[in-house]
Amino acid sequence: MTDETVTTDESVSTESEITPEIDPDPASASDLESDQPSAATTSTDRNGTTESAGFNTTESSVGEAIIEARDINVWYDDVQALTDITMDIPEQGVTAMIGPSGCGKSTFLRCINRMNDLIDAARVDGDLSLAGKNVYDSDVDPVALRRRVGMVFQKPNPFPKSIYDNVAYGLKIQDVDGDHDEIVENALRKAALWDEVSGRLDESGLELSGGQQQRLCIARAIAPDPEVLLMDEPASALDPVATSQIEDLIDSLAEEYTVVIVTHNMQQAARISDKTAVFLTGGELVEFDDTQKIFENPDNQRVEDYITGKFG
């Protein structure tokens, strides 16, 4: 199998990239309206994270910029999907990308690990640095880059392999050294799945529930020990209980990894992210700031209109 198997934006499929399927399921305007974060009480969760009015106000884990995008423009053939995107994504913590359907959120995510390379029609212009190195430099190997930048998609997409092999797959194809049994166990523990699967690692990953499958995909993504974890609507295909588990998991993963998440669910963005980027139609990054600022007091009127559900 080549690692250049590409179909459409709805199905970028290749096991060797550990990037099987993208299946956008855009939220409707009513979903967005019902997702408005509302003023609530102040509480402290199990991690000591203070939530004021539903916002994640954890400051400690967010560090210096690890991803620096400068004037990123992306076209699919003649259609421009992103326009002059410049932003610094801090190390660790959670950065959320929100905005209406088609505004380029997933396209931007795919710039970070060069998944857009796999789409024939896509052309990327600009600089995007990971830890100071432009990932678009000619000496960067995209497969090695994707070891540093893991990705999880909207629909859980385990391979038709055992639970163990799903997690070990990336280790094998990327020639990761070390004790694979130990790495698989650690990844499953970090993905909060170990206790549920430790006695049946030989069973097919496809036999797990949807939420378990998504945690398996997260374990697969973190097994090669990436620095960055990209998540493209990782909970939108899951029920509320599984969604809540994934949100808790993201919270704990963000202590170790830089998490960049695309979500249509504004309450989710408000709950779990430290920073929020708002993309609007035309592939523009309209505002990027602390999540609480974006949701409570955005500078841009269009962002306020979007956040308050005046348009979706």
Residues at the contact surface with ligand ATP, assessed by CB under 6 A = 8-9, 24, 26, 76, 81, 99, 101-107, 119, 121
Q: Which is nearer to ligand ATP, 23 or 68 (CB)?
A: 23
Return the SS3 of 71. Answer: strand
Question: Within a 10 A sphere around the Cβ of 261, how many other Cβ atoms?
Answer: 26
Q: Which is nearer to ligand ATP, 98 or 163 (CB)?
A: 98
* C-alpha–C-alpha distance, residues 304 and 310, integer Å: 8
Determine the straight-line distance between the first and last CA of the chain, rounded to whole angstroms. Answer: 40
278, 284 Cβ separation under 8 angstroms: no
Q: Which is nearer to ligand ATP, 79 or 144 (CB)?
A: 79
Largest CA distance in the chain: 54
- Nearest approach in angstroms of CB 133 to ligand ATP is 24
151, 108 Cβ separation under 8 angstroms: no
- Nearest approach in angstroms of CB 139 to ligand ATP is 26
Q: Which residue is nearest to ligand ATP (CB)?
A: 9
154, 196 Cβ separation under 8 angstroms: no
**Dihedral in degrees, nearest 10, Cα atoms 45, 50, 54, 58:** -110
- Nearest approach in angstroms of CB 115 to ligand ATP is 10
- Nearest approach in angstroms of CB 63 to ligand ATP is 26
Q: Which is nearer to ligand ATP, 102 or 256 (CB)?
A: 102
- Nearest approach in angstroms of CB 6 to ligand ATP is 8
Q: Which is nearer to ligand ATP, 73 or 204 (CB)?
A: 73
Q: Mention every residue, 6+ apart, whose C-beta is less than 8 A from residue 134.
A: 127, 128, 140
- Nearest approach in angstroms of CB 285 to ligand ATP is 12
Q: Mention every residue, 6+ apart, whose C-beta is less than 8 A from residue 175.
A: none
Q: Which is nearer to ligand ATP, 106 or 276 (CB)?
A: 106
Amino acid identity, position 201: L
